[in-house]
Amino acid sequence: MRSRLHALHGLAVAAVLLLSTLPAHATFPGKNGRIAFIQGMDVYTMNSDGSDVKQLTNLGPDNGAAWESWSPDGKQIVFNDCS
């Protein structure tokens, strides 16, 4: 019984660590399979497994992006500029 509790505790800790590393707001994957998300003040994309993270914008310290979304064909991303 005690080993089961330790195993469950380990799984709970791993789940919390995983969830804390995910972006707070991200899109569903576009037709290209990539997820768009905001990190800091810029737009990024990544594969649905979390690999191949790419920064798409560099808006500077006085600007920021919000509410990113894929176009219907999955080829472009639209976002609000919060300058």
22-41 tens-digit pLDDT: 455 677 777 778 899 999 89
Region 3-25 average pLDDT? 48
Q: What is the CB neighbour count within 10 angstroms for residue 29? A: 16
Tell me what percent of the residues of the chain surpass a pLDDT of 90.
24
Residue whose pair of structure tokens reads 């690999």 in the numeric block: 51
- 44: how many CB neighbours lie within 10 A of its CB? 20
